[in-house]
Chain A
Amino acid sequence: MILIPNFYYRILRDTGFALEGITFLFKEIFLSALRVSWQVISWRPVLNSGIVRIHTELATNLEQTIQGNCITLTPGTMTLDARPDIKPGTMFIHFLNIKNMGEEVYAIEEGFERRIRRFNREFRYAAVGLGLILAAVLSVLARIPGPAAVSGAVDGACDFSIGVLFAGIMLLFIRLVLGPTMPDRVLAGSTISAGVGFIAMILALQTGQKDLLLVPFVLYNVNWYVTCAFAQYMLHGRVFT
Chain B
Amino acid sequence: MITESEYIKVGLLISGSMFFLLNAIGVLRFPDYYTRTHPATKAPAVSQILFALAVMYAYPAWAPFILIIMVMYLLTDPTATHELSRAAYHSGEVPMHLQDAHDDLRKHAQKEEKAA
Q: Which residues does A use to contact B, with CB under 8 Å?
A: 26, 29-30, 32-33, 36-37, 39-41, 45, 47-53, 65, 68-69, 72-73, 76, 78-81, 83, 86, 92, 94, 96, 98, 137-138, 141-147, 150-151, 153-154, 157-158, 160-162, 164-165, 167-169, 171-172, 174-175, 181-184, 186-188, 190-191, 194-195, 197-198, 201-202, 204-205, 208, 210, 213, 216-217, 220-221, 223-224, 227-228, 230-232, 234-235
Contacts and interface: CB of A to CB of B under 8 A. Distances in A.
Given A78-B85, A151-B6, A161-B16, A33 B105 contact: no
Contacts of B62: 146, 210, 213
A161 B17 contact: yes
Interface in B50-65: 51-52, 54-56, 58-65
Contact of A168 (B20, B31, B45, B59): B20
Contact of A41 (B13, B22, B73): B22
B64 to A, nearest CB: 6
Given A49-B34, A191-B40, A29 B45 contact: yes
B98 A164 contact: no
A51 B63 contact: no
Contacts of B48: 194, 198
A183 B35 CA distance: 12
Interface string B60-77: 111111101100111111
Interface of B: 2, 6, 9-10, 13-14, 16-49, 51-52, 54-56, 58-66, 68-69, 72-91, 93-94, 96-98, 101-106, 108
A143 B59 CA distance: 11
Contact of B65 (A29, A153, A197, A210): A210
Given A78-B38, A174-B28, A220-B76, 13 more contacts: A36-B26, A78-B82, A80-B105, A141-B63, A142-B61, A144-B61, A153-B10, A172-B24, A187-B37, A190-B80, A191-B23, A194-B44, A198-B48
Nearest to A147: B58
A141 to B, nearest CB: 4
15 contacts: A40-B29, A51-B103, A81-B105, A141-B61, A157-B10, A168-B17, A187-B33, A187-B40, A195-B20, A201-B55, A205-B55, A216-B69, A217-B65, A224-B79, A234-B91
B63 A183 contact: no
A79 B24 contact: no
Contacts of B25: 40, 171
